[in-house]
Structure 1
Amino acid sequence: MATDSQSIPAARIKRRSPVDAALRIRAYQFMVLLAIVALWQVGLWLGWLKPYVYGTPLGVVQSFAGHLADGSLLRHFWVTGFEVVIGFAIGCLFGSAGGLLLWLSPLWAKILHPYMIALNGVPKIALAPLIIVWFGLGMESKIAIASIITFIVAFLQAYKGTQEIDPDLIRLMKSLGASPWQTFRTIVVPGSLPWIVSALRLNVGFALIGAVVGEYISAEEGLGYMVYYAGQLYDLNSVWVGIFSLMIMALLLEAIVARFERSLDMEH
């Protein structure tokens, strides 16, 4: 007699393809978004939420369409995006390189250790007013804030990655007569890549925070300025438009980092 599992048609036990699984996840994500919007609207209808405090879904859509039609949203998005991307690139590049190169000099690593701990403990946003004074009120100061914040994170993560390399591999390279530079290039750098990628993911948010905080303090363009100015006017719908735009920017940057990570995995 055939077992129950043998009697099930092959078509019914066929596993779903990865494409079907991805589409199903996207559908669930969209349903969650619809549920949040529906609860928001129901709360407004029942009087639990006040429109002048929380805004309205329809008002957000209308505000989004208005800002898009007059070009202001795209201009603010581009300004903040430029600040974030340039600051992110500068901070991650120089921070990762500095953290990796510190492995070559244990003496300097010990000298800089307390400074690294101090910088890591200081709230990075506390540096924003100083940077505004140093670099002025233009776009340069926002790029500088994003660069400095991401530099610290990338530097510490890269150096931490070098300290997690298997000591046996280092001793093996020494026994084979490899120079410190050869060990650094063939063992330390590849072994530290997961830590560097982790720093990239963290720095997506930090770069956004740096640019937006700089725009809060002093700016005439950018999503941070848009949110701050709309908040001063109690235009909550425009505030939500700015917040949602920042979320979209974060998702785009995260997708780029994820693609970069996949390319590294394919190479290895």
Structure 2
Amino acid sequence: MSRAMTSTVPAAAAPAPSKNTKTRSRFDSVWGRSLLQLLIAALVLRAWQFGVDAGWISAFMVGSPAEIWKSLVRGAADGQLWQDSYYTLFEAILGFAIGTIAGSALGLALWYSPFVARLTEPFIIAINSIPKIAFGPIVILWFGTGLISKVALAVSLTSIVALIAAYQAAKNADLDFQTLLVTLGADKRAIFFKVIVPSSLPAIISTFHINIGFGLVGAVVGEFISSEHGLGHMIFTASGLYDLNTVWAGLFMLMVIGFGLYFVVDYVERKLLPWKEDTHHATLNV
């Protein structure tokens, strides 16, 4: 008599996480990365100050972290730093908003008439190929040295990006869905609002990160050319006096404003396009 032999294979146990994996996950958290970034920045500043104190680095040519801090404190105490920062921030946000809205509207409007789109395409390409900073003297001549000229220069930078992104997104909208709506009796206006605009919104919103930086660049460049206020005016005036510490102080405030605007835009994008964050996390976890 034969007896059936059954054997059981024990399930393989999951390998225990190694010490290196635990260390990597600990430092790869938000707090861990932030701590490392602050540590790197502190080490760079300390090495910079040490080089200045030891005479290895020229304080006149490079500046000094200690003197930059004093310049920041002095500007904050008399209020001039906050006034200049507010002026530049307001110009950048206004230029970003007007340029993005106007450019997106024009880009979507080009979808309505393929003939007009083909007619204007060479002009759009030509304008896009010109560095917008070159428009600075013309904008100052047209709009003067006040707020409007800085906003206009920021708009010239942001609008073309939004226009191209919106038009390309409108052209790439789902043709099958458009055909289906046509067979159901939808007119061009209905297709525009039910297909073109919704499908183009992700591309338009994705330009926010680029355009907020361009808005800041436009504002600062306008202040470089001609202005009595703003961080660009502060940096330009200090550079003419060879006051490099004040120049660094102005650059530091621009960096703070840029970081702040970036995270605000990032928050808005995640709220408006929540699936992009899920896709990003899924990609990172592969």
- Same fold by TM (over 0.5)? yes
Q: Quote how far apart the aligned CAs of 1:43 are.
A: 3.0
1:123 maps to which of 131, 141, 146: 131
2:92 maps to which of 84, 93, 96: 84
Determine whether 1:31 maps to 2:39: yes
1:175 maps to which of 168, 173, 183: 183
Determine whether 1:148 maps to 2:144: no
Determine whether 1:263 maps to 2:271: yes
Determine whether 1:98 maps to 2:138: no
Q: Quote how far apart the aligned CAs of 1:175 are.
A: 2.7
- Amino acid corresponding to residue 171 of structure 1 in structure 2: T
> Where does 1:2-13 land on structure 2 (aligned, <5 Å)?
5=14
Q: Quote how far apart the aligned CAs of 1:86 are.
A: 0.9
2:115 maps to which of 107, 114, 117: 107
The change in CA–CA distance for 1:114 and 1:58 in structure 2 (over 3 A counts) is same
> Where does 1:56-95 land on structure 2 (aligned, <5 Å)?
56-95=64-103
1:190 maps to which of 195, 198, 211: 198
* Partner Cα distance (2:79, 2:97) in 1: 27
* Partner Cα distance (2:33, 2:108) in 1: 38
Which residue in the other structure is 2:7 paired with? Answer: none
Determine whether 1:252 maps to 2:271: no
Q: 3-state DSSP class of the match of 1:24?
A: helix
* Partner Cα distance (1:194, 1:32) in 2: 35
Structure having the higher Rg: 2
Which residue in the other structure is 2:233 paired with? Answer: 225
* Partner Cα distance (1:194, 1:28) in 2: 33
- Amino acid corresponding to residue 50 of structure 1 in structure 2: S
Q: What are structure 1's unaligned runs of at least 5 residues?
A: none
Q: Quote how far apart the aligned CAs of 1:214 are.
A: 0.8
After superposition, give the CA deviation of every residue in 1:127-182 in whole Å (9 maximum; x if it has no partner): 11111011011111111111122111111111121122233232233233322222
* Partner Cα distance (1:129, 1:118) in 2: 19
* Partner Cα distance (2:41, 2:198) in 1: 39
| Bigger shift: residues 41-50 or 129-138 | 41-50
Q: How many aligned residue pairs are there?
A: 264
| Bigger shift: residues 258-267 or 224-233 | 258-267
* Partner Cα distance (1:253, 1:115) in 2: 31
Determine whether 1:204 maps to 2:204: no
Which residue in the other structure is 1:22 paired with? Answer: 30
Q: 3-state DSSP class of the match of 1:178?
A: coil
| Bigger shift: residues 169-178 or 245-254 | 169-178
- TM-score, normalising length from structure 1? 0.90
The change in CA–CA distance for 1:245 and 1:7 in structure 2 (over 3 A counts) is closer
* Partner Cα distance (1:188, 1:7) in 2: 51
Q: Quote how far apart the aligned CAs of 1:16 are.
A: 6.9
- TM-score, normalising length from structure 2? 0.84
| Bigger shift: residues 36-45 or 155-164 | 36-45
Q: What are structure 2's unaligned runs of at least 5 residues?
A: 1-9, 277-286
Q: How large is the RMSD of aligned CA atoms in angstroms?
A: 2.6
* Partner Cα distance (1:52, 1:7) in 2: 56
- Amino acid corresponding to residue 107 of structure 2 in structure 1: G
- Amino acid corresponding to residue 70 of structure 2 in structure 1: Q
